A = this chain, B = another copy of it.
């Protein structure tokens, strides 16, 4: 494998000149540049990124820690991140945090100098970083999830407003008993979206009923569970608002199994706007999150942060997508 030394030898210049030619071509003379460029081709020289990074003290790599790579919601976000990263000469290391300890492993890469910054995708702040909250955190952006404790730079949509809009739409169509399937645990998304749901109810004087709220995982099984629960109620809801399309898919499936027809007997509203929603039966009414754009903006935000600029929150627009799973009561 050729090094700069080989190139320098062939071009009859010093390695310093080779380096300059590659980094700042306008700082060397025309003839030297051509000679070096020729030598680079002839030797098949490729730069050793390790050495360059060590010297420059930067890696031009960012880590994306995603809560579950298998969740289709994230794949397009990752695509957006990747697009923006490559366009700016960054590399993306992808960490799946669905396994124990992975968030820790991946967030440490910043400290072992394998990455310059960190993106958390639906992942709470990992423990080792939590300890440093007060002192100095590495460049870091959270996407699609708000850290409840402290204020960390975040990119996402206005979840409260979006949930309110979704609920309002159901109310407008005559629904008063609206089931709500949230995420699990102390997920900040749950809090925001639940608040929007409550606000919509309150604005129309519909009493809030704790029985109509159920926490489930963001996947079809979670939706199935929720549907079974709602069905067991003395007075089941006439509409269900899921905090994720993946849950809505499970609701649709389970409703079918129970012989409940959607949207005739039950309206189902999703959240996220996954492509698969257009292929569900019935097609899924939902809130669209601009996922690719979310990814791009997240990466931009991180690059700002890595440049030392103050990272600010970014709120992107959402959109109510009306399809076939919601109907008049």
Interface centre among A48, A83, A220 (most CB of B within 10 A): A48
Q: Does A127 contact B (CB under 8 A)?
A: no
Set of chain B residues within 8 Å of A108, measured between Cβ atoms: 46
Q: Does A92 contact B (CB under 8 A)?
A: yes
Residues of A in contact, count (CB < 8 Å): 48
Question: What is the distance, in angstroms, from A136's C-beta to the closest C-beta of chain B?
Answer: 11
- Known A-B contacts A96-B79, A105-B86; A279 and B50 likewise in contact (beta carbons under 8 Å): no
**A95–B93 CA distance with the chains assembled, in angstroms:** 9
**A72–B50 CA distance with the chains assembled, in angstroms:** 33
Set of chain B residues within 8 Å of A54, measured between Cβ atoms: 48, 50-51, 54
- Known A-B contacts A99-B83, A109-B91; A50 and B46 likewise in contact (beta carbons under 8 Å): no
- Known A-B contacts A79-B69, A94-B92, A256-B281; A46 and B249 likewise in contact (beta carbons under 8 Å): no
Name which residue of chain B comes closest to A76, CB basis.
Answer: B70
Set of chain B residues within 8 Å of A91, measured between Cβ atoms: 93, 109, 114
Do B93 and A279 touch across chains, with their CB atoms under 8 A apart? no
In A224-267, the 8 Å CB interface with B consists of 249-250, 252-253, 256
Do A96 and B113 touch across chains, with their CB atoms under 8 A apart? no
Interface centre among A54, A72, A250, A252 (most CB of B within 10 A): A54
**A114–B89 CA distance with the chains assembled, in angstroms:** 14
Do A46 and B112 touch across chains, with their CB atoms under 8 A apart? yes
Do A75 and B69 touch across chains, with their CB atoms under 8 A apart? yes
Set of chain B residues within 8 Å of A1, measured between Cβ atoms: 111
Q: Does A40 contact B (CB under 8 A)?
A: no
Set of chain B residues within 8 Å of A95, measured between Cβ atoms: 82
Q: Does A59 contact B (CB under 8 A)?
A: yes
Q: Does A318 contact B (CB under 8 A)?
A: no
| Partner among B47, B78, B86 whose Cβ is within 8 Å of the Cβ of A112 | B47
A-B contact pairs, 23 of them (CB 8 A): A46-B111, A46-B112, A47-B112, A48-B112, A50-B50, A50-B113, A50-B114, A51-B113, A69-B79, A69-B82, A79-B98, A82-B96, A86-B99, A86-B102, A91-B93, A92-B93, A93-B93, A220-B275, A220-B276, A220-B279, A249-B276, A250-B279, A281-B281
Closest 9 CB pairs of A and B: A94-B94, A46-B111, A50-B54, A281-B281, A253-B279, A49-B112, A70-B75, A48-B113, A49-B114
